[in-house]
Structure 1
Amino acid sequence: MKRSDLVFLLLVSLLCCACGVEEDAVMGEDSESVPSEGGVGVGREDVGDVELPLLNDDNFLRAVKNVDFMVVEFYTPWCHHCASMLTVLGELSGDLQAEGVSFARVDIEQSKELKARYQINAVPDIRILRRGVASPYTGPSESDGKQALIDYFLEEAAIPLEEGPIELTVANFDSIVKATPIILVEFYAEWCVHCQQLEPHFHAAARRLRYSDPPVLLGQVQIPDQMEVAKRYGVEGYPLLIVFRYGREYNYTGPREEEGIVSYMKKQAGPPSQLLSSVAETKAFARSNTEIRAIGFFSKSTNPELLERYMETGNRVRMDMELGHTTDEAVAKEMGFKTNTIVVFHPRNYVSSFEEGHSVIKTIPTNQDVLMKQLMSHSRPLVGHMTEDNQLSVYHDRPLLVGYMDLSWDLHAKTIRYWHNIIASVAKDYTPASKKQLIFAIADEQEFPTDIKLLGLSDWGEDIAVGIFGKDGVRFALTEELTSESLKEFIDDFLGKGLRPKLNSEPTPKSNKGSAIKKVVGNTFEKFMGDKSKNRLIKLCMPDAPQCKKAGEYFPKVVARYEGMDEVVFGEMNMALNDVPPSVKLDGILPTFLFARKGSKDIIQVAPKPTDDADLVFFLKVRHSIRPTLSERDIALRSKYKKNKEGKKEKKSDKKKSKKDEL
């Protein structure tokens, strides 16, 4: 294979040919390792002319912690793209070894801990490690050629290590943080798994942001070494991220992966509000098809504290809207607004014929928290645009009605406006003044597949899927074609409490007969717990939660002690796939046991939380006089008898097998 071909394969693999990896993905029994074009068998130990060191869970940290620059490929033996890439890296290793660039490989099928730590979900996956700190490969594109690869690795290796996050301590924290325009600080502990997962992204973002315009610094505070600093900011969980502007702290509400951190912090840098000096500039700023814009109209005689409060609030809302301000009274007059007011201009794409397109805060609150809430509430047009970024700030109120569709404006502008107008024509009758307030929005279906699934509308065949999210997590789906009439009826039924909420549910079991522990799903919960002819006890769990695994061991022991008793029935429900009705209040801590006494429809939560079978038996026996049919001794003897019987059967089977082998 030619070198140019190898480079092309590497680039294609990096950019668009990654193989998907499942947790237990294996080759079929009849599958074979197929040689690549150059004769390199998949999973072959030697690569090109140079053999790449094989790292694993046991030797990885020792191998990378003292190396300034190492390129590591995470691969699987059955992945053909991985084999081709290993060949290319082997060739590059020979060219760059003398330049201080090291190469290695990790078989993720043999190194499960490394796979989990670095979140390897697809192979091949290339990571750059600098003294144990990993960052993703962000190298040349497919058209750049081999020399570009060499130049990239050499340039990356030449960047000093200290250009990652700044190490903050009790001694330097105040001097650095209070003198820096903006810095993102991570409070972390080395043993924390989530901190380990964030580490490569945080370090990579730190290197990129240091050279952004304006530069943004990232720093780290290690716990428990710098516990004095952590206590000052009430750090209880890790990792905790806080944004500081000249020492003043702000909550970090952004993503926790490299690209998201970089994007978020670039938006956080710079002044919170743009100074607008003319009428033309102000009008241009106010007009945006997609962005929310707020303008503070002040005068030169305005109290400086009022403007400062506006600017400070701007730092807290800058991810949700862009802020501007003017101190020219002539600009306010020409625009038709009074001074010392704030006007929030809504995105033109989402303004209907039923509204003005802006909202005015006539009196600026003295409390910054109140001002922030007002900015958020005034930023919503009649039917706004909910996104992943603003759903927790602008669209967190309930009840909320959302229409999910394809919001590709360049392709479907006419269709989007049609559905938006239908929703707006109904929404105008449910404003705060009507005392029947709902929040209305449309959202891109590609951003919210989980919401659509929760509404049970994943297979909905129409252009738009509509649902209402109420308080306490309840949700309701419109299951008719969207029209003004069907939407109004849907909302009125919701407000009149005539709708049945949509619950997550597994398929209803065909039969539970003969099962000591009945499988209960969302659709059968009310039937199971509503059977007043028996005492009912149900376990609610998430299968992978540690405490739920423990409950899965002791719950059957409780059930065994009540064997043959018709007056009590036991059930269990997987809370990862099913919901309980909204009328059932849970404390959110799993496992949860719910009990309903014979003859009563009231459901109570078993408290205090059981920790073993003895606690549950005590609850049934002492508190509700439901005595078990078998004692612990009976259960132990039965278990011993069963084991002895199975042991004899196994010995008998071994003897038969031995005789067969002799023959």
Structure 2
Amino acid sequence: MPGLFATLKYVRYSRNHCLLLKHSRFSIMKVLSVICLAILALTNAADVKEEEDVLVLGNDNFDSVIESTKFILVEFYAPWCGHCKALAPEYAKAAKALKEEGSDIKLGKLDATVETSVAEKFEIRGYPTLKFFRDGKPVEYQGGRTSTEIVNWLKKKTGPPAKALSGVEETKEFIGAQEVAVVGFFKDQESEGAKAFLETAASMDDVVFGITSDDAVFTDLKVEKDNVVLFKKFDEGRNNFEGELKAEAIKTFIQGNQLPLVVEFTQESAQKIFGGEIKNHILMFINKKAGDFGQKLEEFREAASGFKGKVLFIWIDTDQDDNVRILEFFGLTTADVPAIRLISLGDDMVKYKPADRNMDRDTVKTFVQDFLDGKLKPHLMSEEVPEDWDKNPVKVLVGSNFAEVAKDKTKGVFVEFYAPWCGHCKQLAPIWDKLGEHFKDNADVVVAKMDSTKNELEDIKIQSFPTLKYFPKDSDEVVDYSGERTLEALTKFLESGGKEGNGPTEEESEEEEDGEELSPEEQEELEKQAEGEAKKEEAKKDEL
């Protein structure tokens, strides 16, 4: 707060300044009141506890710290959260780096499981949630999770979009400090090309930008004319922009070159993977500790070289607990790896599976080229039909028997699409069983369920759990149920042939919009249960 210190100094020591105040339109009392308020703010800041250079915030001090700090990033965390624990050392490193630089940017943290008033005010639903406050106004943090990425994102948000670089040494230090750095070389920084570059820099939070007009830098880095160069510590090391210097073209160039030819899927890389322009991804699931890991990764890399800019090549370490859900999403377990899958991201995510398990370079290249040529059919997951699928009142559907049962026009069929780990599905389960029991002797009605984490349908895409769909008798119509999930409401809906009782409650409308919301304790417990169930399944397969 340099302005405050300057004011205090001048009021105390400068006779001329006191005379100036006396003859100004401000009264001495007003000046003193401003000073007192500023001193109070300083006192509040001084009282805030720090842990590893991170301000510890709570219900009592949150508002005062936010109001008295121009720039502050706040992490809302839970002590039991694994991702929060992984973030903690990087977050502390970022706070330390900014403090040592003398930066005005602060980092704070708040235990959302204890300081619930603030957490509720900002509608914190997951952990960690990071919010950046500029002059008290919050925006969502959208940067990475390493200390360097946190610092870079904050500097981008609080400073110019591109750092002004002067001299060869400063420019090389800037480039050398980053995994990826983009430098604009412009003799005239008011040119249209420079403006397009700065526009791009302002729109991208996950890359660090610099700009220079220094002739010596042009010469040393072998840049002959105004241009944009991406420097990186992997693959070819450098990419020169080619084409007309337009903002959209520069952005596409950066997105196409900022990731390695083959990238590991991690918490840090996920944002760049999903936020990039390339929506076709081929995934290699492999245990990094496997003896042939290096060989398979190298063959995967060789296959990737011919598809740059068309298909993103990603490998996933199946030894990491965080990646269990990704395996599940593709219908895989650790017993199935190494394995290859391809996914096309769009309005509907479409998956593709190779014809065999061969993973050599030529097989992978052929698989990808066949996909680009439109020769592949989508792969839809399906479990085997259980022998006792129709034994109980609630029938068990899988991908391969779904059409036969659900689209049988001689009956009205009510299907719950669920996930085993879903808390709301678990709450609905006993009600759904009672619904099946109620209609078990009705020849015109079928109550059924399908595990949508293991079964997929070509014409029905499930986006949230549970999803309830009714297939009326003598009709091709599909009715999405969004009414109350009570036995009474569900019974009334079925008895009316899907015509009554299908209205969303306010609570369920919010659930549909925001996705499944569970308490932290519920979510942690369900994740443990899911992991336990997955391990049991793998053990059964091993026994077989």
User: What TM-score, normalized by structure 1, do the two folds share?
Assistant: 0.51
Match of 1:605 in 2: 479
Residue 565 of structure 1: CA displacement? 2.8
Deviations 1:157-185 (A, max 9, x none): xxx982242545545534312xx5xx322
CA distance 1:332–1:415, shift in 2 (3 Å): farther
CA distance in 2, matches of 1:609, 1:296: 56
- Report if aligned partners of 2:385, 2:398 keep a CA contact under 8 Å in 1: yes
Deviations 1:335-393 (A, max 9, x none): 45465532224554378xxxx8554574253x9xx976763344246655554312222
CA distance in 2, matches of 1:207, 1:489: 46
Determine if the alignment matches structure 1 residue 593 to structure 2 residue 472.
no
- Report if aligned partners of 2:241, 2:253 keep a CA contact under 8 Å in 1: no
Runs of 5+ unmatched residues, structure 2: 1-46, 501-544
Deviations 1:492-521 (A, max 9, x none): 554536423242x55531223432111223
Alignment of 1:223-242 (within 5 A): 235-238=122-125, 240-242=129-131
Runs of 5+ unmatched residues, structure 1: 1-159, 189-193, 432-436, 627-663
- Report if aligned partners of 2:398, 2:450 keep a CA contact under 8 Å in 1: yes
- Report if aligned partners of 1:399, 1:438 keep a CA contact under 8 Å in 2: yes
- Report if aligned partners of 2:90, 2:147 keep a CA contact under 8 Å in 1: yes
Residue 584 of structure 1: CA displacement? 0.4
CA distance in 2, matches of 1:442, 1:550: 36
Determine if the alignment matches structure 1 residue 349 to structure 2 residue 238.
no
Determine if the alignment matches structure 1 residue 327 to structure 2 residue 219.
no
Determine if the alignment matches structure 1 residue 379 to structure 2 residue 253.
no
Match of 2:245 in 1: 363
CA distance in 2, matches of 1:224, 1:456: 38
- Report if aligned partners of 1:462, 1:481 keep a CA contact under 8 Å in 2: no
CA distance in 1, matches of 2:62, 2:362: 63
Alignment of 1:377-416 (within 5 A): 377-380=256-259, 386-396=265-275, 397-405=278-286, 416=297
- Report if aligned partners of 1:522, 1:580 keep a CA contact under 8 Å in 2: yes
- Report if aligned partners of 1:244, 1:250 keep a CA contact under 8 Å in 2: yes
1:519 match: secondary structure: strand
CA distance in 2, matches of 1:413, 1:195: 37
- Report if aligned partners of 1:297, 1:327 keep a CA contact under 8 Å in 2: yes
CA distance in 1, matches of 2:438, 2:296: 63
- Report if aligned partners of 1:547, 1:591 keep a CA contact under 8 Å in 2: yes
Deviations 1:441-484 (A, max 9, x none): 45555564543454345467886634334432332222342356
Alignment of 1:409-558 (within 5 A): 416-425=297-306, 427=307, 437-442=310-315, 444=317, 446=319, 448=323, 450-456=325-331, 458=333, 465-471=340-346, 472-478=348-354, 479-483=356-360, 486-487=363-364, 489-491=366-368, 493-494=370-371, 496=374, 498-503=376-381, 505-506=382-383, 508-542=385-419, 545=422, 547-558=424-435
CA distance 1:607–1:326, shift in 2 (3 Å): same
2:304 match: secondary structure: helix
1:343 match: secondary structure: strand
- Report if aligned partners of 2:282, 2:311 keep a CA contact under 8 Å in 1: yes
User: Which one-letter code corresponds to 1:393 in the other structure?
Assistant: K
Residue 252 of structure 1: CA displacement? 2.3
User: What TM-score, normalized by structure 2, do the two folds share?
Assistant: 0.61
Alignment of 1:64-213 (within 5 A): 162-164=49-51, 165-167=55-57, 168-177=61-70, 180=71, 183-186=72-75, 195=78, 197=80, 211-212=96-97
User: Which one-letter code corresponds to 2:483 in the other structure?
Assistant: K
CA distance 1:196–1:463, shift in 2 (3 Å): closer
- Report if aligned partners of 1:184, 1:219 keep a CA contact under 8 Å in 2: yes
CA distance in 2, matches of 1:421, 1:386: 18
Match of 1:564 in 2: 441
- Report if aligned partners of 1:214, 1:270 keep a CA contact under 8 Å in 2: no
CA distance in 2, matches of 1:407, 1:544: 27
Choose 1 or 2 for highest CA Rg.
Answer: 1
Among 457, 465, 483, which residue is 1:581 paired with?
Answer: 457
- Report if aligned partners of 1:521, 1:573 keep a CA contact under 8 Å in 2: yes
- Report if aligned partners of 1:404, 1:442 keep a CA contact under 8 Å in 2: yes
CA distance 1:196–1:375, shift in 2 (3 Å): same
Match of 1:137 in 2: none
CA distance in 2, matches of 1:522, 1:533: 20
CA distance in 2, matches of 1:224, 1:480: 50
2:305 match: secondary structure: helix
CA distance 1:373–1:554, shift in 2 (3 Å): same
User: Which one-letter code corresponds to 1:465 in the other structure?
Assistant: I
Deviations 1:549-599 (A, max 9, x none): 443233333333333233332212234x433324203452x3322222345
Residue 620 of structure 1: CA displacement? 2.8
CA distance in 1, matches of 2:206, 2:243: 15
- Report if aligned partners of 1:385, 1:443 keep a CA contact under 8 Å in 2: yes
- Report if aligned partners of 2:380, 2:457 keep a CA contact under 8 Å in 1: no
- Report if aligned partners of 1:405, 1:445 keep a CA contact under 8 Å in 2: yes
Deviations 1:271-324 (A, max 9, x none): 886665556886797689x9433222133654697786566556x214xxx544
Match of 2:491 in 1: 617
CA distance in 2, matches of 1:445, 1:543: 21
User: Which one-letter code corresponds to 2:353 in the other structure?
Assistant: A
CA distance 1:243–1:340, shift in 2 (3 Å): farther
- Report if aligned partners of 1:385, 1:441 keep a CA contact under 8 Å in 2: yes
- Report if aligned partners of 1:254, 1:261 keep a CA contact under 8 Å in 2: no
More helix per residue: 2
Determine if the alignment matches structure 1 residue 294 to structure 2 residue 173.
no
CA distance in 2, matches of 1:586, 1:305: 44
User: Which one-letter code corresponds to 2:443 in the other structure?
Assistant: D
- Report if aligned partners of 1:342, 1:364 keep a CA contact under 8 Å in 2: no
CA distance in 1, matches of 2:214, 2:384: 65
CA distance in 1, matches of 2:420, 2:292: 43
CA distance in 2, matches of 1:287, 1:263: 13
Deviations 1:52-91 (A, max 9, x none): xxxxxxxxxxxxxxxxxxxxxxxxxxxxxxxxxxxxxxxx
CA distance in 2, matches of 1:284, 1:210: 21
CA distance 1:326–1:453, shift in 2 (3 Å): same
CA distance in 2, matches of 1:348, 1:420: 13
2:245 match: secondary structure: coil
CA distance 1:617–1:302, shift in 2 (3 Å): same
Q: State the aligned residue count.
A: 425
- Report if aligned partners of 2:339, 2:357 keep a CA contact under 8 Å in 1: no
